[in-house]
Amino acid sequence: MYRFYINKIENDYHYGELARVFLPDDEFEVIPLDVSSRNLALRPGSFLVNAKGSADRDEIKRELFGLLADLCGRSSEWGTLTGVRPLKLAYEMLAEAESDSDSCTDKTGGSDPSNPINPIKGMCALLAERYLISPSKIALLREIAEYQISCGMGDPSSKAGVYIGIPFCPTRCEYCAFASNVAGRDEIAEYLTNLLTEIRYMGRLVREHGTVIESIYIGGGTPTTLEADQLKQLIETAADELGADPRSIEFTVEAGRPDTITADKLAVMRELGVSRISINPQSMKDETLRAIGRDHTADDIRSGYRLAADYGFDVINADLIAGLPGEDLEDFRASLEEIISLGANNITVHTLSVKKGSRLRENDPEYYRRNTETVQSMVDYARERLSKEGFVPYYIYRQKHQMGALENVGYCRPGKHSIYNIRIMEEKQTIIGLGAGAIGKVYFPDEDRLERVANVSNYRVYSDRFDEMLSRKDLYY
């Protein structure tokens, strides 16, 4: 058991999160203390951090990071950064670098326009110096930032995004901790009735306040668990009530499980103007699909892609997971190559996260600490291969208990990015959440602040407390 006594701190949360990157929970303690008020005799395995009493959290974390790396004989590519939105931090560093550039002076105190500071380079330098992030991850952040800036998407706070949750799946995956359930037709029909009522209620508020909707994302679960007529009703209601024609805004429907994709469902979506869907294999290896609880085969995935191509969807997203049980680099490589060949033009490479509430976490809580070198090789291969294929990284996020403390990265062919994905990670736009498990956020631009507006995650509780779910919609205004 290691004990890290950290001088002059009041809250151990950030330091505990950093220690957790290197050590299991039962192998360390982070203990706040004030050295000036006591005599400290350290036993073997105990260490004093921040002996000089700095009030700079980042400085303390850098010291702790160095100690942990020495003790464990390894480092972490994300340095001291434990947050889930590294690009948001990068943009903060970019703003700081731009400020430094604006105030650039020569030796006499005057401006020196002949020697300007490059803000992007300044951002990269700050990320390395302040957070000890590796050159490869800084290069990734730089590439994503440059792509997003080049897209010129405008002020995110002038519009809102919408997430609509369909919390049903044919089966539950081993790694899943989302609001997804296996339910009968009657339960799904009852849920949909309530959801449509919630959309109409929110639609009235949107119209009253003149809110402009930038994107709608119907996710889950698996939205295509719904029948074709139910999908039609859902999309039409969302479009009509929220003033968001799928032909004029970014409108995405997850069709993640290929065993839920049918010609009539795809036909309904295209008829209504939906041009963006997700077909998410996670893996193209049949043994893996069985092991993670998927009730379909790789051939079903291939059929789903061929069928979607027949209907001419503009963007087809695919999710792949690096680090699935039993897979090696060759398995991952084969899955990625096939997804590219099937025509996915927006590919998210997830590093497996062993989430609380998943069966994998219950059965093997420390799974995510093993085989990290293999997972790193998968992530590296994906970046190199997709770059050669003409894809660019366009958004990024991290999760707790990810293998190797790595990341999830969305890649797209230029122009095929998801505005919704970008906005949800930059946290400068109101996202309206509708349905069970939906978590909305209200953005206050003057304060650069978000307030959470969450629905309950269980679809039965959502129905039982439906009047309360409706009343929560008033919190958006």
Other beta carbons within 10 Å of 435? 27
Asked whether residue 81 is assigned to any structural domain, the reply reads no
Q: Residues 233-271: pLDDT tens digits?
A: 999 999 999 999 999 999 999 998 888 999 999 999 999
- 123 vs 142: CA distance, rounded Å: 8
Comparing 400 with 92, the larger pLDDT belongs to 92
Same structural domain for residues 49 and 192? no
Other beta carbons within 10 Å of 12? 15
Mean pLDDT to the nearest integer, 266-285 = 96
- Domain end, chosen from 131, 151, 171, is at 151
Name the helix (H) or strand (E) containing 442: strand 439-444
pTM: 0.92
- Domain end, chosen from 151, 182, 208, is at 151
Asked whether residue 80 is assigned to any structural domain, the reply reads no
Give the CATH number of the domain where residue 426 resides: 3.20.20.70
- Split into its structural domains, the chain has a count of 3
Residue 196's pLDDT is 98
Tell me: pLDDT of 365 over 80. Answer: no
Same structural domain for residues 93 and 226? no
Q: Residues 371-394: pLDDT tens digits?
A: 889 999 999 999 999 999 999 999
Cβ burial 359-379 (10 Å sphere, 16+ → b, else e): ebbeeeeebbbebbebbbebb
Same structural domain for residues 198 and 124? no
* 57: nearest Cα among 140, 141, 136, 130: 130
Same structural domain for residues 353 and 241? yes
- Domain end, chosen from 22, 48, 72, is at 72
Backbone angles phi, psi at 108, to 5 degrees: -90, 0
| Structure letter (DSSP) for residue 267 | H
Same structural domain for residues 213 and 264? yes
Same structural domain for residues 143 and 161? no
Same structural domain for residues 334 and 348? yes
Asked whether residue 187 is assigned to any structural domain, the reply reads yes
Sign of the C-alpha dihedral computed for residues 195, 201, 205 and 206 taken in this order: positive
Lowest mean pLDDT among 32-36, 73-77, 129-133, 332-336: 32-36
Identity at 161, one-letter amino acid code: G
Asked whether residue 439 is assigned to any structural domain, the reply reads yes
Instruction: Give the Å distances, CA to CA, from 117 to 91, 100, 103.
Output: 16, 8, 10
Q: Residues 402-454: pLDDT tens digits?
A: 999 999 999 999 999 999 999 999 999 999 999 999 999 999 999 999 999 99
* 408: nearest Cα among 350, 323, 322, 336: 350
Same structural domain for residues 99 and 247? no
Residue 88's pLDDT is 95
- 354 vs 358: CA distance, rounded Å: 7
- What torsion do the CA atoms of 311, 317, 321, 327 make, to the nearest 10 degrees? 40
Asked whether residue 37 is assigned to any structural domain, the reply reads yes
Name the helix (H) or strand (E) containing 48: strand 46-49
Same structural domain for residues 453 and 313? yes
DSSP-assigned letters across all residues of 385-402: HHHHTT-EEEEEE--TTB
- The residue segments making up the domain with residue 319 are 156-471
- Note whether 247 and 270 are within 8 A (CB): no
Tell me: pLDDT of 105 over 50. Answer: no
* 374: nearest Cα among 331, 332, 333, 329: 329
Tell me: pLDDT of 21 over 80. Answer: yes
Mean pLDDT value across the chain: 92
Asked whether residue 78 is assigned to any structural domain, the reply reads no
Longest Cα–Cα distance of the chain, Å, equals 78
Same structural domain for residues 244 and 262? yes
Mean pLDDT to the nearest integer, 264-292 = 95
